[in-house]
């Protein structure tokens, strides 16, 4: 009877760099002074999109005070419609880097094309969004530089496909990959995504890479974000990535899923208690 359903030899052969056996003790990934991996609980928080200096700095101050270790902010936003607000672009990256310096906190932003790499110079961690999880040209380009990469799971990606995408980055020479579950697409339409928390222990057993969880995109409305965030930590996630906005009703994108700073502070406290950290 098989209580562990995977064949470790096969994993080692198919994913020589990403498979657990390549680093049984687990990887610790550095983002500035922050360490993500075994024994840590890393909270990443910030607005869906960088909208203005004031909005970003207000949020940065609040999430840092509440215990966030890394500041997030979208600048080149992939939007389903070509007519939707797609972020401030270069100006957003400047503001984000400035906020990082001002609040002594590393910053992460999504990159959607290898050509944009030079503009991300002041950014500490590069996020690959769900839509680009199998954009191999982008993955390879990120593998040829050294900044840590936050690799979100695609909406219809299997564990193996996700791991293979990480392998694309590792193979080019960049060992600094962090995975992030953010909800898959199922028939269930009561929430924006279906958060697959089995991904946390499964991916932690398949790979040595840290696994974070983004409860905001999974929930789609702020009402359920905190419960999913707590659940993710209880499942063993190495951290959370949460969208926070000081005035969600005025957000230019995804406001309905943003937590208020005080809601995030409560979630951070609960998360630490559950994780015992």
Site for its own copies in 145-184 (CB under 8 A): 154-156, 158-161, 164, 167-168, 171, 184
Handedness of CA 70, 75, 77, 81 (dihedral sign): positive
To the nearest 10 degrees (0 to 180), the angle between helices 90-103 and 53-66 is 40
By CB under 8 A, name the one of 26, 196, 266, 272 that touches its own copies.
196
Does 24 contact its own copies by CB under 8 A?
no
What track of x and - describes contact with its own copies for positions 244 through 263 (by CB under 8 A)?
----xx-----xx-------
Polymer length in residues for the chain: 277
The whole-angstrom separation of Cα 99 and Cα 128 is 21
**Bridge partners (DSSP) listed for residue 71:** 45, 107
Query: In whole angstroms, how close is the CB of 108 to its own copies at the nearest point?
Result: 19
> Of these, 40, 134, 145, 266, which contacts its own copies (CB under 8 A)?
134
Q: At what angle do helices 159-171 and 136-143 cross, to 10 degrees?
A: 40
Q: How far is the CB of 80 from its own copies (least distance, A)?
A: 5
Positions 214 through 243 that interact with its own copies (CB under 8 A): 218-224, 227-228, 230-236
* Number of chain positions touching its own copies (CB under 8 A): 72
The region of 27-35, 41-49, 53-61, 134-142 touching its own copies under the rule CB under 8 A is 134-142
CB of 212 to its own copies, least distance (A): 15
**Shortest Å, Cβ 113 to its own copies:** 4
- Using the rule CB under 8 A, which residue among 19, 88, 150, 197 binds its own copies? 197
The closest of 167, 202, 82, 77 to 130, measured between CA atoms, is 77
Is residue 54 involved in binding its own copies (CB under 8 A)?
no
- Identify the CA nearest to 86 among candidates 98, 94, 74: 74
- The yes or no reply on residue 2 touching its own copies (CB under 8 A) is yes
CA angle 94-177-202, nearest 5°? 135
Count CA atoms within 13 Å of residue 257 on its CB side. Answer: 24
Comparing CB distances to its own copies, the nearer of 28 and 274 is: 274
Beta strand 29-31 with 34-36 is antiparallel
């Amino acid at each position: 009877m098989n209580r562990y359903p995977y064949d470790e030899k096969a994993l080692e052969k198919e994913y020589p760099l990403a498979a657990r056996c390549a680093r049984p003790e687990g990887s610790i990934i550095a983002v500035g002074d922050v360490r993500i991996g075994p024994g840590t609980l890393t909270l990443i928080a910030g607005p869906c999109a960088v909208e203005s200096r004031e909005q970003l700095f207000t949020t940065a101050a609040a999430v840092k005070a509440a215990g966030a270790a890394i500041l997030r902010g979208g600048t080149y936003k992939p939007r389903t419609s070509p007519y939707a607000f797609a972020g401030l672009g270069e100006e957003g990256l400047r503001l984000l880097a400035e906020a990082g310096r001002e609040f002594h906190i590393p910053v992460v932003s999504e990159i959607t094309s290898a050509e944009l790499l030079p503009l991300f110079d002041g950014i500490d961690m590069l996020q690959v969004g769900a839509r680009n999880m199998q954009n191999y040209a982008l993955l390879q380009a990120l593998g040829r530089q050294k900044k840590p990469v936050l690799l979100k799971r695609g909406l219809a990606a299997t564990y193996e496909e996700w791991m293979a995408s990480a392998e694309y980055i590792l193979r080019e020479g960049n060992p600094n990959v962090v995975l992030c579950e953010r909800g898959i697409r199922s028939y269930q339409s009561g929430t924006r995504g279906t958060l697959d928390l089995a991904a946390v222990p499964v991916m932690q057993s398949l790979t040595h890479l840290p696994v974070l969880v983004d409860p905001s995109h999974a929930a789609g409305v702020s009402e359920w974000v905190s419960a999913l965030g707590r659940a993710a930590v209880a499942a063993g996630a190495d951290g959370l990535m949460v969208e926070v906005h000081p005035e969600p009703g005025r957000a230019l994108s995804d406001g309905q899923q943003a937590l208020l700073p005080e809601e995030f502070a409560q979630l951070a406290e609960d998360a630490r208690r559950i994780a015992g950290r």
